[in-house]
Amino acid sequence: MNAIELIDSFSEFKEMKNIDRVTMMRIVEDVFRSTLKRKYGSDENVDVIINPDKGDLEIWLSREIVPDKDFEDEGTQIKYSEALKIEPDFEIGEEVSQEIKVEDFGRRNILSLRQNLAAKVMELEKDGIYQKYKERVGDIITGEVYQIWKREILILDDDGNELILPKSEQIPSDYFRKGDTTRAVVAKVDLRNNNPVIVLSRTAPEFLARLFELEVPEVFDGLITIKKIVREPGERAKVAVESYDDRIDPVGACVGMKGSRIHGIVRELRNENIDVINWTNNTQLLIQRSLSPAKITNMDIKDEDNRAEVFLKPDQVSLAIGKGGHNIKLASKLTGYEIDVYREGSEDIDDVDLDEFGDEIDSWIIDELKAIGCDTAKSVLEIGSKDLVKRTDLEEETITEIINVLKAEFEQ
C-alpha cells in the first residue's frame, strides 16, 4: 500500500461532521508521528507533509552520518556505507534527509494507523456533539423517530446524531411510529463511558415556552414575557404572561385571533388545555385568575402559612378543582400557595361532609370524589351514577354502593 492509497483509505473520515480540514490534517499527522515514535524512539527529526486534497503524504527522516563502527541509533544516525548508496558525495558528520515510504511500515503498522485514526476522529466527533448540544440545552430540536423501545425512543437529528426521548419525558398520549418527525426540547446532556447522551423532553415547561416563542412573535421579540409555566403534561397547563408595553394585550396576543396561535401549540401537546393568564404581583388577584374559569366569591389569604382559603358557590367548586383536580393543583403551583376550596353555605345542616362516611367508604374513594369537586353527600348524589362513572376512575358497582350508602344517611 503506497501513500496515495493510504490517504485515499482515510477519505471516509475526511468529511466527518464537526471536523474541519486543518483539524483533520493535524490528526493524521499525530497518528503518523506516534507510529514513527514507536519505530525510531523519537519523532523530533521527522517531517510529515500531508496534502489531503491531492492525497499526498510525505515523511522525511533527518539523520546524521556516522562511521559504521559508531552506529548506535537508527532514529538519529545512518551508517556512512548506507549514506554513500544515497549520494556518493556524502561525508561523515553531514545530515541526510531520507524519505520514508508508507509501504515500509508493514501491513500491521498500516492497520494500526487506520485504527488509531478512526479512534481519534470518533473521539473528536463525540466531543463536538457534546459541546454542540451542551450549548443548546433548553432549545427545541426537530428529529426523526428512528427506533422505538419500551422505555425510550431513539431520534436522529438532521446530522444523524442520536438523541434519546425517555418514556418519562413523553406526553402520556404521545404515539410515535418509525419515520415520524417530532419536536422536543434538549433537557440535559451527559457523558456516559465517554459517549455523549442527549436527553430530550416533551413534558418540560421549557418545551411549552419554546413553542410560544415559535408561535407568538411578541414572545420571541421580548415584548411579552413568560413569567411562569406549570404543567400536567397532556392534561392542562397554565402560562402566566406579562407585557411592559401597555399597548399590547399579552393574553390576547398569545391566544391569537379566534385561538389561531394557541391551537398550533395545543395540537403539538396532544390537546393539552392551556390557560393563559395575566401575571400580577397582587397575590389575591393572581389566585383568582389562576382558578379560572371558576368565579370566587370570597378569599382568605394566610401569608405566614402560604395558604389560601377560597369560597365559591356550589356550582363553581367543580370548575375550580377541575377534572382530576388538575386546575386547583396547577393554580397552587403557579401561585405558590396551598389553595383550599370551600363551598359557600356548606354549613347547611341538611348536607353531610364526605369525611363523615370514613367508616363506610374507603378514604381513596372519598379522595377520588373530592378530586371532581364533590366534598359533600348531596354534591355526589346531584351528579348521578352515569356522570360519576365518566368523571372518575371508579367502577360502576363501587359507585352504586356509594350512592346507596349516601342515600341511606338521608333516609335515616
CATH class given for the domain over 141-201: mainly beta
Least-confidence region, from 185-194, 274-283, 387-396 = 387-396
pLDDT band for 68, please (50, 70, 90 cuts).
confident
The type of residue at 255 is V
pLDDT band for 1, please (50, 70, 90 cuts).
very low
Nearest partner of 59 among 6, 119, 121, 124, judged by Cα: 6
Are 182 and 142 a contacting pair, CB within 8 Å?
yes
CATH class given for the domain over 206-279: alpha beta
Res 388 pLDDT > 60: yes
Res 207 pLDDT > 90: yes
Higher pLDDT, 404 or 119: 404
Q: Where are the domains of the chain?
A: 3-131, 141-201, 206-279, 354-411
Could you read off the pLDDT of 309-322 as tens digits, one per residue?
Answer: 999 888 788 888 88
Grid cell 503524504 is found at: 57
Res 11 pLDDT > 60: no
Higher pLDDT, 273 or 71: 273
Res 51 pLDDT > 70: no
Higher pLDDT, 260 or 38: 260
Give me the pLDDT at residue 349, please: 46
Could you read off the pLDDT of 167-206 as tens digits, one per residue?
Answer: 999 999 999 999 999 999 999 999 888 889 999 999 999 9
CATH class given for the domain over 354-411: mainly alpha
Domains 3-131 and 206-279 share a fold: no
**240 bridge partner residues:** 228, 277
**Rounded Cα distance, 227 and 243, in Å:** 10
Are 3 and 58 a contacting pair, CB within 8 Å?
yes
The overall average pLDDT reported for the chain is 84
**Rounded Cα distance, 294 and 285, in Å:** 13
Least-confidence region, from 57-71, 109-123, 225-239, 354-368 = 109-123
Give me the pLDDT at residue 210, please: 96
Could you read off the pLDDT of 92-129 as tens digits, one per residue?
Answer: 888 887 777 766 666 777 677 777 777 777 787 888 88
CATH class given for the domain over 3-131: alpha beta
Could you read off the pLDDT of 219-270 as tens digits, one per residue?
Answer: 999 999 999 999 999 999 999 999 988 899 999 999 999 899 999 999 999 9
Are 309 and 302 a contacting pair, CB within 8 Å?
yes
- Hey, what long-range contacts does 119-125 have (CB within 8 A, 24 or more apart)? 120/27, 120/30, 120/31, 121/13, 121/16, 121/19, 121/24, 121/27, 123/194, 124/18, 124/19, 124/23, 124/27, 125/16, 125/17, 125/18, 125/19
Res 59 pLDDT > 60: yes
Other beta carbons less than 10 A from residue 355's beta carbon: 12
Res 7 pLDDT > 80: no
Cell numbers at 374, concatenated: 364533590
